[in-house]
Amino acid sequence: MSETEINQAAQNLLFTEAHTPKTFGTTPVTDEQIRGIWERMKYAPTASNTNTLRVVVVRSPEAKARLLPLMAEGNRARTTSAPATLILAADTRFHEYLAMLSPHAPDAVAYHEARTREEREATATFNALLQAGYFIIAVRAAGLAAGPMLGFDKVGVDAEFFGDGRLGALFVLNIGEYGPDPYRPRGPRLEFDQVVSSI
């Protein structure tokens, strides 16, 4: 193992032993844990340091009651039991922060302002999805289980939680400690030679 490679236990925690949970424990997820997750993942790369991901934490019974009818029926039980449910979204006005985030590119704000909303949305979505992948790894690094879900009414979630149209939901992420009988046996994966080629 090289000096820059993480040890096997850490690799197992992040990758080989982590599962998507179907049940969660009852221990709350704290603000400090969520802040720690953000602090771990915020240095991961995005194009021109755009940082387009936004996160809404849904924990209170009142907030869950707003979200649950917008979840696919098969995802409601997991969302109900999760100590915290996060809506991961892309900010279509991300460029408003670029004077701070990208001082090396002084024309970045004006450049993105001149683009169409659809063009900005494509940039926002790509980079927010990159960050969302890092976010899941950071959840695992915090010792928690992460369950991403696409089974929800995106139009409904955007209207209910992002009424001004600036943010667009990407997916819903349940997080917390594993519960009883927490996951199915791991499914097969494609092998290296099936996905990697060299030219």
Is 33 part of any domain? yes
Is 77 part of any domain? yes
Tell me the DSSP string of 171-185. EEEEEE-B-SS--PP
pLDDT reported for residue 127: 98
According to DSSP, the residues that pair with 117 across neighbouring strands are: none
Q: Are the CB atoms for 179 and 147 separated by under 8 Å?
A: no
% of the chain exceeding 90 in pLDDT: 97
Is 111 part of any domain? yes
State how far the Cα of 31 lies from the Cα of 172, in Å rounded to an integer.
Answer: 18
Reported as a single tens digit per residue, the pLDDT across 92-107 is 999 999 999 999 999 9
Q: Are the CB atoms for 21 and 178 separated by under 8 Å?
A: yes
Is 9 part of any domain? no
CATH number of the structural domain spanning residue 56: 3.40.109.10
Q: What mean pLDDT is reported for the chain? A: 96
Reported as a single tens digit per residue, the pLDDT across 22-44 is 999 999 999 999 999 999 999 99
Res. 1 pLDDT band, cuts 50 70 90: low
Q: Look at phi and psi of residue 176 and say left if phi exceeds 0, alpha if psi is from -120 to 50, else beta.
A: left
Is 81 part of any domain? yes
Is 14 part of any domain? no
Tell me the pTM. Answer: 0.94
Reported as a single tens digit per residue, the pLDDT across 175-189 is 999 999 999 999 999
Average pLDDT over residues 34-56: 97
Amino acid at 85: T
Reported as a single tens digit per residue, the pLDDT across 73-88 is 999 999 999 999 999 9
Average pLDDT over residues 115-123: 96
Is 10 part of any domain? no
- How far is Cα of residue 184 from the mean position of the Cα atoms in its chain? 22
What is the extent of the structural domain holding 117? 20-179
pLDDT reported for residue 24: 96
* Whether residue 2 has pLDDT greater than 80: no
Nearest to 98 by CA among 120, 119, 117: 120
What length is written for the chain? 199
Res. 125 pLDDT band, cuts 50 70 90: very high
State how far the Cα of 73 lies from the Cα of 25, in Å rounded to an integer.
Answer: 21
Domains in the chain, number: 1
Res. 4 pLDDT band, cuts 50 70 90: confident
Is 26 part of any domain? yes
